[in-house]
Every structure is written in structure tokens, then in C-alpha cells.
Amino acid sequence: MTMLPTRAVLLVRISYRKPEDDSEALDNGARTEFSKGIGRQEEDGRRLAERLGWTIAKVIPEDDTSAFKRRKIKLPDGTTALRTVRPGFRAALDGLASGEYDGLIADDLDRVARDPRDLEDLIDVVESRRPRIPVESVTGSLRLANDADTTMARIMCAVANKSSRDTARRVARKHEQLAAEGKPPGGGYRGYGFTAVGHEPIEAEAKILREIGDRILGEWDGWTDEQRAALDPEIGESLNSIAADLEKRGIPTVTGAPWSDRSVRSVVTKPSVAGLREFRDEVVGKAVWPAIIAEEKWERICARLAGRARSVDLTLQRWLTGVLRCSRCGHALMGWQGNGGPRYWCARPNGGCGKIAVKASFAEDEVEQQVLQLLVHPRVLEKIRTVADTEATDEARATLAEDEQQLKQMAGMYARREITFAEYREARSIIEKRIKESRALLTSRAPRVLRRLLTGDVVEGWKNLTPANKREVVLTVIPGYEVLPHDRSKGNKFDPGRLVPLDSSNIEA
């Protein structure tokens, strides 16, 4: 007789797109409905478990997670492939495979899998035990108790996958047509300065947008004589200064989050502000709504911001950028300004999953401590000191500097419309490939900064390093760290165990 599961896992999932920055927000009514959807799935799943006599040990919610959309990820063998990114689903599979869970409940087949590859992974785990691991769904659409059930699940998953593909194609075609007609895309989001429905200008926010543009161009009439005298009219006011002033005056963003240099740039550089319609990152024509900022002036604003790359301080500040890796999707964590201060985040705007973040000061203190412990160990010192610089690394450094400068120049050319977006994207991909190769070569050998560091007092020398040099030293002695999710059961205290060093056998004592 088959034993009833006493440690079943309940998987609930819902998909929606969150705002990517402070310039747009999800309609409150839509957000509430999404939250209710997750709650309803859990309630229905618990009722089913009660009827079946199962005991649920864990509920895994996949909030804002698509079971259809795929991303390019790096596979264990080093190759890249398109896969759905679903940490919750993978955690459920791992628990079933290890014996931590002994059954699975979901609302429906399409809540579990819309990609046949995901379903096959679940089938493999279910069939790895004798008797099979029981799987049930509220709607009855997912059962894997025998070969007939498995075959039916495969057919229904293929149908669900085709349905998603059909929907994606129709939606894409609809948005293409709306863009060609200059109409707003619709949906539950609104950009700063416009209403969510009808895309009509909101005068109070439009006034702020025009003010931001004037301050960037150095043409604002709201400065005092002293403030105006301190500004360079060829550069204008900095984005950080504008953000600080908007915060001081209590001007709200769409989301209610604090203003930052990034959100100020975002709201004023969107083509919609100039009455232009954008589709897939390209301006496709005039929009049906009126411009808040005249197109010619908007182009000057964008060009001014692109040109600032030559004069602003681009020195690396968060030295663990590129050192920390997301344990969920493998993306590099970046230095980011969060509501709680500086942090390292798997940034969604840069292709990350947005699920992993760690406070910058905690991570930097912990990595600094580990690196210094390694650098003062005699056997580690002996190994590092045998690694010498070569002409190849010198050449790589020169090439890297030239390529990074070229990227800045190209950004300015695109903003001034001297090149098309397609030309910019193609050239950027070529240059970024060279940059990646140069950086790989530089971090494969002990850098000069490390060799200088080891000639004197290591601890005192470390304190005097620039952030960029600290990162170079870290990547030489430790290839990087994987950052694990925050365990909320341990409270808000930082857990150093979240930082897991990648393979560093080349320098282990």
C-alpha cells in the first residue's frame, strides 16, 4: 500500500511584469489581484491536500515568474542556452529528488510547466523512485501516476506551450501595430508625466519634466544668482543634484521611491516625453499624444547627457562589482543604490533576475577580511609571487582602455543620431567581446598592483588601494563569490555564509 505524503510541497505561481525603474508603476488594482491569485492557489492547494490526506511541509511561491519566457543562461559545461529561469520550481525538484519532499501539489499543469523541458525534468524526478513520487493538481490536469498520465501531461504541456507562443506572437504584432500608429502600448503601467489610461499628460509632472530638462541644459530660471554662477553652462546641473533637490522639495516619483540620478535620467530621456513612439528600443515615429518637451529640445537633453560621459567621474566605487554572482541565475551582481543605501544587486535592468541583493558594506567587510587572511599566509604568498606579468597583459590593458573609451564615444554618437541603433548595437557587441577577452587575460595573472602590495605591509597597503585595484586583487586570489538568498528566519543580521567562494584551488595553501 502506498504511503500518503507527509512532507508534500505546494507550488504556486503567477506571472506579471514589475516596473523596471522609478519612471513607471504597476496599477494598484492589478497588483492586488495578482497577490490574491497567489493566495487563491494556496487555499485551493491546501483544501486538496486535506481531501487527499496529505501533509504540506512547504509552500513555494513563484511570484512574478514566467513558465514560458526563456533567457540565455550559462550551462555547467560552459555553453549557453535558452532556458526558463525558475528558482522556485528548481528548489521543488531538488527537494523531491533528495527526499526532503515526498509529494507535489499544484493548482494546474500550466502553473507547473509551460516548457516541455521543465516537464521532462519533473517526470525524471518522479520516476526516479519506486513507487513514483505522487503528483496532484487542483484541476486534475496534472497527474504522473502511470505512463498514461505522463503521456497526457506531455500532450497538454505541448498545447500550453503552443498557446503561449500564439499569445506572444499576437501580442507582439498588436504592439507593433500600435507603435506604427503612434498609439500608447496600453497595460497597467504608466510613465512619469502621463496617465496610465489614455496616456494623457499630467501637468504637475510635466512641469517637473520640463524643469529637469532645463536644469540639464543649464537654462533653468529657478536658480539663485549664486547657484547660476557656480554652474558650467556647457555641462548643466548634475543628475544627483537634481535628484537631491526634488527629494528635498517632496516631489514624489510614480512608485514613491526616492529620486536618484538614474530615475531622473530615465524620466527625461524617454522618447514619449518628446511625443515620439518607441518600439523595441527604437523610435518609430510620432505619437498621438502631445509632447511635454519639444523634440528638438529633448534631443539636446539626450545629447548633453550622453556627452557627459567624457566629464563625469567614472571611477569604480563598488569594488565587488563583477566579483559577486547571483546564486539563482548566475548573473554578476552590480553596485546599486537601494532604499537602504548602497548594495550589490542582481539588477533586472541589466539582465539579472532581481532576486538577490546584499548590503554593500557587509559584503565588502567580509571579502576584505577573507582576502587579507589569504594574502598574509606564507604559502599563498609564495604561489602568487611566482606569477609574473608579461607583455601580453600590458597589451591587454592598453586595448581594454581604448575599447572602454570607444564605447563612451559611441554612446554620444547614438544620442546625437550620428549612427542608428542597429549600428550602435552591432558595434557594441564586437567591442564588448574584446573587452571581455582583455579582462579575462588580465585577471588570469597576478597584476602589478598585487605584486606591489606584497612587497610591503599587506594590510596597510590594502587600505591605500583604489576600489578598482581592490577588485583586481580579489579576482586574482579568489575567482569570485556566489551570493545565496537571505534566510529571513535568521532576522536581518548579515550572514557571512551567504558569500560562497568559487573554486580557488589555484591559490589554496
For residue 177, what is the DSSP state? H
User: What integer pLDDT is reported at residue 443 of this predicted model?
Assistant: 45
The angle subtended at Cα 429 by Cα 423 and Cα 430, nearest 5°, is: 95
C-alpha cell at 247: 527629494
Q: Which fold has domain 8-179?
A: Rossmann fold (3.40.50)
User: What integer pLDDT is reported at residue 181 of this predicted model?
Assistant: 67
User: What integer pLDDT is reported at residue 136 of this predicted model?
Assistant: 94
For residues 403 and 435, the answer to whether their CB atoms sit within 8 Å is yes
CA distance 498 to 485: 7
The angle subtended at Cα 377 by Cα 374 and Cα 381, nearest 5°, is: 90
User: What integer pLDDT is reported at residue 509 of this predicted model?
Assistant: 43
Angle between helices 295-307 and 261-269 (to 10 degrees): 150
For residue 100, the Cα-to-chain-centroid distance in whole angstroms is 30
C-alpha cell at 116: 516541455
CA distance 171 to 187: 12
User: 93-124: b or e for each residue (b if 16 or more CB lie within 10 Å)?
Assistant: bebbbeeebbbbbbbbbbbbbbbeebbebbbe
For residue 341, what is the DSSP state? E
CA distance 294 to 283: 15
User: What integer pLDDT is reported at residue 508 of this predicted model?
Assistant: 46
Amino acid at 148: A
Query: Do 8-179 and 189-310 come out as alike in CATH topology?
Result: no
User: What integer pLDDT is reported at residue 190 of this predicted model?
Assistant: 77
What is the number of H-type helices and E-type strands within the chain? 17, 16
CA distance 217 to 298: 10
For residue 5, the Cα-to-chain-centroid distance in whole angstroms is 37
User: What integer pLDDT is reported at residue 307 of this predicted model?
Assistant: 67
CA distance 189 to 198: 11
Q: What is the residue extent of each domain of the chain?
A: 8-179, 189-310, 324-389+445-501
Q: Which residues contact 355 (CB under 8 A, 6 or more apart)?
A: 87, 326, 328, 329, 346, 485
User: What integer pLDDT is reported at residue 35 of this predicted model?
Assistant: 58
pTM greater than 0.75: no
- Nearest alpha-carbon partner for 241 in 210, 273, 218: 218
User: What integer pLDDT is reported at residue 418 of this predicted model?
Assistant: 79
Q: Which fold has domain 189-310?
A: Hect, E3 ligase catalytic domain fold (3.90.1750)
Q: Residue-wise pLDDT tens for the chain (509 aa)?
A: 567 999 999 999 987 544 434 444 444 554 555 556 788 999 999 999 999 999 999 999 988 788 888 888 777 667 787 888 888 999 999 999 999 999 999 999 989 999 999 999 999 999 998 899 999 999 999 999 999 999 999 999 999 888 888 877 887 777 667 666 667 776 556 788 888 877 788 999 999 999 999 999 888 988 888 787 777 777 788 898 899 999 999 999 988 889 998 899 989 998 888 888 877 667 777 878 888 999 889 988 988 887 665 444 445 678 888 889 999 888 889 888 766 678 898 888 777 888 899 998 899 999 998 888 887 766 655 555 544 444 445 565 677 678 778 877 887 787 777 788 778 778 888 887 777 666 555 444 445 556 666 667 778 888 888 887 788 778 777 778 999 998 877 777 888 889 998 864 444 44
Identify the burial level of 424 via C-beta atoms within 10 angstroms of its C-beta, where 0-12 means exposed, 13-18 middle and 19 or more buried.
middle
Neighbouring CB atoms inside 10 A of 368's CB total 17
**Percent of residues in the chain assigned helix, strand, coil, to nearest 5:** 50, 15, 35
